[in-house]
Structure 1
């Protein structure tokens, strides 16, 4: 467990006289055992890498579609410091549905090979109960459903396993258009939706210590709505569950900066840092090494992590 010199006996950061302490999410169950790893989300941020085994993935446009490329990318993410690897076999974007068997054939071999060689947290990005079941059997420890629990059978699969469930806000049926999304108040509406879905999951037998929430940046939201969700992310974190921010290379960053997908790294890091400052405790990112460094630096600024190798102006001579 990472510790900080700036902590009280109850584990929370201290605040210097005259300063306002940072926002810390009121986590109901901060310590989570996910697979072989334990996270104390009151003190740390997990970096989730993204590996999509699709020919038309949002970011890499099929670079990791072949099995060997997907496996190599997964192990490379671990080597760069990822705590977590999210493996998907179907894009979120509107389009023809991917047959369930085909989706499972894409993700299960990658999960199996990664699990055989690493204790990293592995999530399967799917909304299908069958794919979730097969992925869990292969070694996945998280089901990352980006469709707001569109498949009712998925909850039973998760409840009957030891897997954690990510519940994401999105309104459209999977792979369908949802033009001109409207919210009375985007943060309030998203928080209400997630709270209702959490209740549904718990009623189906998924315990609260295995639930994570994601406000779904860009998912059935325009750029202005995603920006507002980012600056008001604390209203999602106030639900008390670890909050995942999937901001990497999203269109709200591209439209804000007029940047294509190859030029969104800086914007992605900025969005991730603001999300952490506002309570996110998992960030889903494509550029792993840069994102890990950003997460560690933000933890240190928040007083959650001790800087490594303190030397500068700490002794009799300046260094």
Structure 2
């Protein structure tokens, strides 16, 4: 694809994701698509796992998936998916990286390891079970590296990215229900769109935390909570607070930035059915 065409696609993608065009450019697919879902099987595995981790949060969380990772939505995330890795751009990258990794006795995402800390504002992580790589980067790189780096607990052990899975991690991974290939693609697609927005301001998922369009502030009065649970190709996603379910549906079905092949039906007055091939995901909004 001509470089000018890729640059044009990067500008379009940045309008939806919140990236800057230079950050979006490496993620553009060779076909000219935005590249949000064009990735290796290893990346699909990781992104589906991140969906399980982030969308089981608060008092609604499935008991076997209380990994305490949903709080990263409060760090104003910008998600930059690439073909063979993932970049998560946040405020306070140290906090987010170490929350994803946890500790040897309390891993938040089982099998996640720190491979390297690059300067003061980028962490390189590796998920051992899938082999997938991700980066956690500071949003304001112009100021994040000023001054001395603060002391981080147990950093030496965290940086040994080849440490094998612990027995506790193996138990937590074994507790995850089986997920069909199509459902993995759908869950991965939802997670990478967690902060997706329409440049024309018709929807904004707000990092699954806020409504940047300030439409209905009463939704923020209850504590945010969510639950993602199911088996193989049939899952349920329920939540209270943000985002609006209509925003999520609009993001998934958008002709430019949506997940290719997704269809939506109203299942009841309180739920929607999202389909991707044989996968069926029911959305339930606790605010309705």
TM-score using structure 2 length: 0.33
Point out which structure has higher relative CO (alpha carbons under 8 A, 6+ apart).
1
Larger radius of gyration: 1
**Which has the larger share of strand?**
2
